[in-house]
Amino acid sequence: MTALDLGFILFDYAAVAVFGATGALAAARRKDDIVTFTFFAAITGVGGGTLRDLLIDAPVFWVDRPGYLVVCLAVALAVWLLGLRSGRMTLLLWLDAVGMAAYAVVGAAKALSLGVHPISAVVMGVLTATFGGVIRDVLAGEPSVLLRREIYVSAALLGAAAFVALASLGVDRLVAGGAGFVVAFVIRAGALRWGWSLPGFKGKPES
């Protein structure tokens, strides 16, 4: 295993863990039981990558490596034991930002390495980064992250695009990946810290 591979694998487990934590925290807010904690942690943690693998016809990454599921179980137990305290909701948002930025890069990198068209690879990065959260929100009956005006999908999009552009220009993939992560994270951090948002559609709605 090369250093490059190891870097992406660490990114990958880190993203599963932090997304899994956001799933477990969603379950905590709902006062769910430990099984539902684990279910939400797993769906949120591996949901985006699962969709990516189905779309690019790769073996679904966690089926042969159940270590990913064990990570989700551990995260669910940790959230259950540590509980919610003041500031946890803020932590949830920042963890989610880290997971989103990591997955935008990891998702695009996996697609690129399997020979997927660069434009589609960017889309895979965006889907990997956002779909776990989308499934979490739909199943929890909360308004989807897609529907909030705060910048989220855009951050994943620009991070994945930066990575794919740099990698296509021949930049070392780990460097390109770091750059893509920073782009996605900084934009999302700006949205969290200063409420950055894109302008909404201005047309008059019909009644």
Q: Which residues are at the interface with a copy of itself (CB under 8 A)?
A: 27-37, 39-40, 42, 50, 54-57, 59-60, 62-64, 66, 69-70, 80, 83-86, 88-89, 116-117, 119-120, 123, 134, 138-141, 143-144, 146-147, 149, 153-154, 157, 197-206
Residue 72 C-beta: closest distance to a copy of itself, Å = 10
Least CB distance from residue 176 to a copy of itself, whole Å? 20
In the complex, the smallest distance separating the C-beta of residue 79 from a copy of itself, rounded to whole angstroms, is: 9
Cβ-based nearer residue to a copy of itself, 15 or 157:
157
C-alpha 149/C-alpha 195 separation (Å) is 10
Q: Give the CA radius of gyration of the chain.
A: 17
Minimum gap (Å) between residue 164 Cβ and a copy of itself: 12
| DSSP label at residue 64 | S
Secondary structure string (H, E, C) spanning 162-204: HHHHHHHCCCCHHHHHHHHHHHHHHHHHHHHHHCCECCCCCCC
* Closest C-alpha among 59, 38, 39, 41 to residue 50: 59
